[in-house]
Amino acid sequence: MAAPSQASLLLHKQLKDLMKSPVDGFSAGLVDDSSIFEWSVTIIGPPDTLYEGGYFNAIMSFPSNYPNSPPSVRFTSDMWHPNVYPDGRVCISILHAPGDDPNGYELASERWTPVHTVESIVLSIISMLSSPNDESPANIEAAKEWREKRDEFKKKVSRIVRKSQEMF
């Protein structure tokens, strides 16, 4: 049997740390005990935001060279947010590959660095829910609605929050 990789050792440690001292606002575990590289995460909608009270499930997929490359995060629950693609993929700077942004939107310091942990990633996603960035949206329709029809946006989010509570 092959020796465990650096990535799997680090992920086992991060999972153990989260189990030992859970962080408010989310829970995490493995999708399937056979792979440390696929995590199931439930994010609780942050207080005093449109998402308050919602339970949003996501899958966090780690590359074999983690922490040198970022994981991808995809909501499996419905999500209406300027920084979440229609297919559920989360678009925030720290999940973008390290180095300079080819599009010039982000500083290298805002992008992925190996010091990030599952906890810091999920806390960044919670922060994203609290304050959408409509400057470089992943979901153009949601960003447009956020800017121009805030009441419509709030209604949609309210519906997905209710739906998430029924599913929970």
What is residue 102's predicted lDDT score, i.e. its pLDDT?
A: 78
Spell out the domains of the chain, with CATH numbers in brackets: 6-167 (3.10.110.10)
Point out the least confidently predicted range of 19-23, 98-102, 132-136, 159-163: 98-102
What is residue 2's predicted lDDT score, i.e. its pLDDT?
A: 56
What is residue 1's predicted lDDT score, i.e. its pLDDT?
A: 47
The number of CA neighbours under 13 Å toward the Cβ of 94 is 18
Q: Are 94 and 120 in contact (CB under 8 A)?
A: yes
Q: What is the mean pLDDT of residues 53-80?
A: 97
Q: Is the pLDDT of residue 58 over 90?
A: yes
**How far are the Cα atoms of 29, 30, 33, 158 from residue 50, in angstroms, in the given order?**
26, 28, 34, 7
Residues near 130 by beta carbon (within 8 Å), at least 6 away in sequence: 46, 48, 49
In one-letter notation, the amino acid at residue 82 is P
Q: Is the pLDDT of residue 3 over 80?
A: no
Catalytic residue selected from 28, 73, 90, 91: 91
Is 91 an annotated catalytic residue? yes
Query: What does R_g of the chain's alpha carbons equal in angstroms?
Result: 16
In one-letter notation, the amino acid at residue 144 is K
- CA–CA gap between residue 45 and residue 77 (Å, rounded): 12
Q: What is the mean pLDDT of residues 10-29?
A: 94
What is residue 4's predicted lDDT score, i.e. its pLDDT?
A: 72
**Structure pTM?**
0.92
Share of the chain above pLDDT 70, in %: 98
Q: What is the mean pLDDT of residues 15-37?
A: 94
pLDDT tens per residue, range 109-156: 888 999 999 999 999 999 999 999 888 899 999 999 999 999 999 999
The number of CA neighbours under 13 Å toward the Cβ of 150 is 4
